Each structure stands twice: as C-alpha cells, then as structure tokens.
Structure 1
C-alpha cells in the first residue's frame, strides 16, 4: 500500500505541473477551466484505478462486468500515453527550449495560446501515430549471429523469437493469430518465446491464448517465464502451455542433434521469480547443468541475466523485457536503466539479443521502438 501511495503522490504532482502549464491558457472562462481540470482529473482517476482496483482483483469477471473492466483498462492505458507525451513536450519547452530562448529569443512564443495548441497537436499527433504502429502487425527483424567456430551442422540454423506479447484487455485473439501466422511463415528451426505472454487472469484470457498452440517449427516452441506471469499466477499458465505442446524451460535444458552438431537450448525463470516463489529462483548455471554441446543457447526474459549466463558458459542469450522503451521519451530512458536495452550485444564470449517486444505493455503505443518478431540466423565467420 505504501508503494501505491507514493505512486499516486508522484502522479498527482505530475498532473499538477501539467495543469499549471496548460489549464486556462486557451480560455480564461471559469467554466472552461473547470472542464479542463475535470478532464485531467478523469485521466488521473483512470490511471489510479489500475493499482488501486484492477491489479488487486482476484475474482473472474464475465459478461458486462468484463466488458466494463476492459473498457476502463483501455481508458487507463491511453491516459498513461497522454500523460507521457504531455510531460515530454511540457518539459521540453520548460527545461530545454526556455533556457535557450532567454539568450537567443525565438521568433515564435514559447507560452500562450499558440504554444499550448502546438503542444496539444504534438501530443495527440504522436499518440495517434504510436497507436497505429502498435496495433499493426509486428515487423520481422532478421539478425545474423556470427560465431567463429560454429559447427558446420548449425550453419544457417534459424530461431524465431517472440517476446512480451502481453495478451490482455487490449491485445486479443486476432492480434495473437496474426503473430502466429507471421512466425509460422518464417519456417524456423526453433521458436523461442522469452516471457510475458499474458497480462491478466488466465481464466478470462484462455481463448485469446489459443492461437499460440498452432506455432510450428522443426524442433518445437520453447518458453520461459517473464515477470508478468508471476503477477497473475504462473503455474496455471505454464501448465496450459505445456498441455498444448509448448515446452517450458524453468531452469532446465534440452539437447538436440542437428546435422551432427549438439545444440543445447536452456531456459531460466524470470530474474525476479525468486521473490514470488523461492522454488522458481532464476539460475542459469542450474539450467545448463553439466550439459556439453557445440552451441549453448539460453532463453532468459530479462537481459540482466547475461552476466550469470556468460559465467555459466552460454554462447548466446535471447531476452526481451525492455520493449526498447516502447515509445519516446522512454526509448531514451531505457538505455540508462539496462546495459542491454535492445538489439544484438556482446558480453565477454557471449552474444545477447534483446527483442523489443512483439506486443506492448500499458499504452497501446509504439514510437521509436517498433514491435518485432526476430528471426536469428546462426552463421560462421
């Protein structure tokens, strides 16, 4: 509860700042000012509803109650996007442009009705573009991973990676089916799902999950848990996926013979899993065990597992979690938070690839970090 109070206090301060910057600028009418504050208050209330009510619900909603809940979630997540862009452009004006303007005055006013209209156009223009990009099909990103001593049998081996799908109130069955169709068309040798499949009660989302059961590749589909699985109940989801042929790798591995080469595919539980269940504590060394192979791949939701993975002896780690920040300004912030925030990187002798996310979390917005299904091809060089 303390965390929620701190969160709401910070949220209130941010809204007070935005209100101070924008309310009453376009019109001095008292009624207009009240309407503007009420509109800001509505978006504040929708965001506050998430931690106060939605994330604490344990009962299964049905019918009209479920529709109402999903409608409120849409409103809350859109409000988060609006808040982010309002903060971005207000702070850009106050912190960046205003000091410059003091020494080198611009030809246009930084404050007043014209500036306010410009901010609102930028906010809702960015939001609209971001929504279109988020709700559209994820791109396929082709990545070649070069190993100097790759076994000839693994030359050209292809892995399709899906990550951070976040099936929930705003990502439903049609989007999931689209992801599956795109992935299957790649005809990969192996499919890796690096966590955060759902964001909600499995009892409600089970039907939206069903297209994933049609994923096809030569060696199968392998899955590791993300942090969001632990928010909603990890065991029922893992069991539901396993029942349909998706292979969970919970600190364990599988070995395959690929054209005379031995491939080890291991997976760990999420880096935070031990906080929810000590049995699920993430352990790359345990996942690999004593397995020997020509190439050892680790699936780990969070890229921060990389140091332990490299020490354990893995050659390649596939991760997600960061979403690449998902949209500006968070695409800039994420680079300060994570050593590996997106794309291909190197730690010691190990490659690490961080998928930017196939779905999205929170605001249905993608701007500066496009959603992706990754097709990784192993090659010698």
Structure 2
C-alpha cells in the first residue's frame, strides 16, 4: 500500500475495520433496502424543513409527520429492491432504475446537507441566546444557513450530473515491479475498468473512450470488469464498439459483478461473436507475446461478497499453475484479495469495482469517499510484498449517472524493474 494511505489505516486501527465490517454487513449487503428507506425518510425530512421554513415552524412537531416518515421509509425499503430485481429482467425497469436512483440520491444528499447544517448552526444559535441576542437572530441563522447548505448540495449534484465529474482523464503511472525483467522495462498497459455499458456509457461516449485509448499507443490493453451494466439489449452494440480496441500485445478482459447480473456467459458470448480480438480470461493464463515472457491472467467475479476471507478457488488455482518463466499480470475485478494475490506471486494486479467512490469530497487525492467504508483499496496504487495493485476509478456509473471529485479514468501504466533488482549492466540480479 502506498505510504500515506498505509499510515491512515494504521492510525485508524481496528476501529475503522469494525466500522467497515458494520457497513458491509448491515448496509452494503442490504443496500437497495437501506437506500429505499433513506429516500423515504429524507423526503419527509425535507417536507418538514420546507414547512418550517416557509409556513408554520410548529408543524415540525406534528405527530402526523412521524407517521408519514415511518410509512415513507417502509414504502421506500420495499420499492427500491423490487425495482432493482425487475431491472435485471425488464427493459422498462432497467431504463427507470438510473432515473429513480438519481432522484433518490439527490433527495438523500440535500436532506443530509440540511440536517448537517442545522446540527452545526444550532450550536451558534444557542451561543446567540447565551449572549442575550434576540431569538429571531438564531432563527434567521438556522433558516439562512440550512438554505445555503441545501443550495450548496444542489449545486454539487448539478455539477456532478452535468459534467460526470469533469470528463474522462488519462492518468499516467510508473510502476516498479521486482519481478519485471529489464527487457520488459518501459512496457505500457492501458487500463480500463467499469465501463457499465448500458448506463450512460454507450454511443459517442464509448466511441470516444475507445479512440482515446487506442491513441495512447499502449503495448497491451486490460479491462478489469463491469464492461456492461444491467441492460442485455446493448451487448451486441457495446461489444462491436469494444472490438475497435487494439494493442500489439493484445486486449484482455475479465468479467465483473455487473456483467454477472446480465449473465457472464451471455457477455462472454457477445464478446466472442462481436469482439473476437478481446481475450476474455475466465480462470486462465495467456502469454502476451512479449519476449521474455509476460503472462496475463484473470477470472470472473464470483458475484457475491468475498471480502470477508472467503476462499476464491479460481484465484488459488491460478496461483498454483502460475508460470515461473515470466511475470504475470492479474486482472481481478475487485481488489480486496490483493494480499493473497501478492502471496501467490502475481507481480501486478489491475482492479476496479469501487469507482474511486464515484462521489468524493474534493480534497487532496480524493481519499475521502464512501468506498473507504467498504475497502482499504478504493483508488490508486498500492504495494505489498514486492507486488503492485492499481485500482482504477473506472469510466462509467453504478446507479445514478453522477460523479463528483472522482473523474472517469483511463490509466496508462509504464512498467519498470525496481532499482534494487537490477545489476550494474541493467539486468536482473
């Protein structure tokens, strides 16, 4: 892991891991239900706030609001999971899902901003009262401050939806590997992930991503899963667009959990039919054609939560049969098994899945994002036992077509041997 984030994790200690376990077990594993409940509760909270702001403040204490909140929470908790299930089988539900998620996320975000503003400003209102200022001053502060908080949240949402976080960014990384022969120094890999074709990444947007990737002139192109979203209707169109990807040492892909939602076999069949130049790695190795040898391996995402130490039979099998005459790049959709992959001897792991949080606070490195509540490996470069992991921010969207402080990314990795692994003539020690 890189130094700054490693120190953060150590400082957090076991407490942060306990928080992650709680979020995984009680929120993320039941996300549609929790999200639906949050939408219902947030909707009533915004109604109560608006009533207090523009009408009668005493209505906030009306017992009918509490009853409405309970009903709305229950309805939301039932509706969103039902829509999510329907979206995997019906085109109308698949089309409606991102719209509903976008509206729901907006409601929850604005409500959270209002509640946070009121929480902070209440302390100042109490201070005003202690200083003997008229009550109207504190009330004005609460009203003006909460409106400002809602407006700021709304502006951030509008920017995220309109700009997709600022457009696709090409990031460049020099990755040193202990196991890389000097003859492979300078080899470049273009890394794409989480396109989610069918949820806003299709047509002209997808064509642009393919063209920009090819223009980088990488030696090898790797796609680390979630090529498609929930819409099986776009499989042929999306595969035809991906067929235009080209690199001297080949184009390689693995399938992610969203590919599994459509059907991993169906996605693999569409790629075989319309993009035969893409090697889909489903529990196997491929020699990339370099000299000395370079291998690429990958396996399907199992489609369930395996962050709790669950065994990954395909990873273990790949580790047992890993060729010993050259370094191996592993494509693994979720990054959480990186430590095990490093222990099995994989030199470089390329992953995605978390979208860099998709929404992050605009602070240095984008490290404050919701994905950190789920994983140690949310975005960027990590190191472990001489191996390296790069977690892409991805290119598409999960749920709402929104990004904030987490720009879509095409990552270009230049591989180099670590300095200590070279002798005076530039050969491996």
Calculate the TM-score normalised by the size of structure 1.
Answer: 0.82
Change (3 A) 1:274 1:100: closer
> Partner of 1:26 in structure 2?
54
Does 1:220 pair with 2:244?
Answer: no
Distance (Å, rounded) in 1 between the aligned partners of 2:231 and 2:94: 12
Distance (Å, rounded) in 2 between the aligned partners of 1:175 and 1:284: 33
Which stretch shifts more, 303-312 or 314-323?
A: 303-312
Q: What CA deviation, in whole Å up to 9, does each residue of 1:217-242 have, x standing for no partner?
A: 11221111111112221111011112
Distance (Å, rounded) in 1 between the aligned partners of 2:404 and 2:88: 33
Unpaired runs of at least 5, structure 2: 1-28, 58-67, 132-136, 362-366, 420-429
Aligned residues: 361
Distance (Å, rounded) in 1 between the aligned partners of 2:89 and 2:369: 38
Select the residue among 328, 340, 348 that pairs with 1:308.
340
Q: Is the 8 A contact 2:249 2:289 kept in 1?
A: no
Q: Is the 8 A contact 1:162 1:374 kept in 2?
A: yes
Distance (Å, rounded) in 1 between the aligned partners of 2:370 and 2:240: 35
> Partner of 2:326 in structure 1?
294
Displacement of 1:149 in angstroms is 5.6
Distance (Å, rounded) in 2 between the aligned partners of 1:193 and 1:344: 17
Distance (Å, rounded) in 2 between the aligned partners of 1:227 and 1:249: 15
Distance (Å, rounded) in 2 between the aligned partners of 1:252 and 1:286: 9
Distance (Å, rounded) in 2 between the aligned partners of 1:104 and 1:182: 57
Distance (Å, rounded) in 1 between the aligned partners of 2:354 and 2:333: 9
Change (3 A) 1:265 1:104: farther
Matches within 5 A, 1:238-317: 238-243=268-273, 244-245=275-276, 246-258=278-290, 260-272=291-303, 283-288=314-319, 289-317=321-349
Change (3 A) 1:256 1:6: closer
> Partner of 2:364 in structure 1?
none
Distance (Å, rounded) in 1 between the aligned partners of 2:268 and 2:209: 20
Change (3 A) 1:300 1:169: closer
Unpaired runs of at least 5, structure 1: 30-37
Which stretch shifts more, 183-192 or 76-85?
A: 76-85
RMSD of aligned C-alpha atoms? 3.6
Does 1:360 pair with 2:397?
Answer: yes
Does 1:233 pair with 2:263?
Answer: yes
> Partner of 2:352 in structure 1?
320
Does 1:17 pair with 2:41?
Answer: no
Change (3 A) 1:22 1:347: farther
Does 1:179 pair with 2:179?
Answer: no
Matches within 5 A, 1:88-167: 88-99=112-123, 102=126, 109-112=140-143, 114-134=144-164, 137-148=167-178, 150-167=180-197
Displacement of 1:286 in angstroms is 1.4
Calculate the TM-score normalised by the size of structure 2.
Answer: 0.73
Q: What CA deviation, in whole Å up to 9, does each residue of 1:199-230 have, x standing for no partner?
A: 12323443244211111111221111111112
Select the residue among 76, 84, 88 that pairs with 2:100.
76
Change (3 A) 1:100 1:164: farther
Distance (Å, rounded) in 1 between the aligned partners of 2:356 and 2:305: 25
Q: Is the 8 A contact 2:179 2:327 kept in 1?
A: no
Displacement of 1:119 in angstroms is 2.7
Q: Is the 8 A contact 1:134 1:360 kept in 2?
A: no
Q: What CA deviation, in whole Å up to 9, does each residue of 1:78-117 have, x standing for no partner?
A: 21331342144124324445446645899985422x3343
Q: Is the 8 A contact 1:130 1:366 kept in 2?
A: yes
Q: Is the 8 A contact 2:39 2:108 kept in 1?
A: no
Distance (Å, rounded) in 1 between the aligned partners of 2:323 and 2:305: 24
Distance (Å, rounded) in 1 between the aligned partners of 2:279 and 2:200: 26
Change (3 A) 1:178 1:80: farther
Q: Is the 8 A contact 1:81 1:127 kept in 2?
A: no
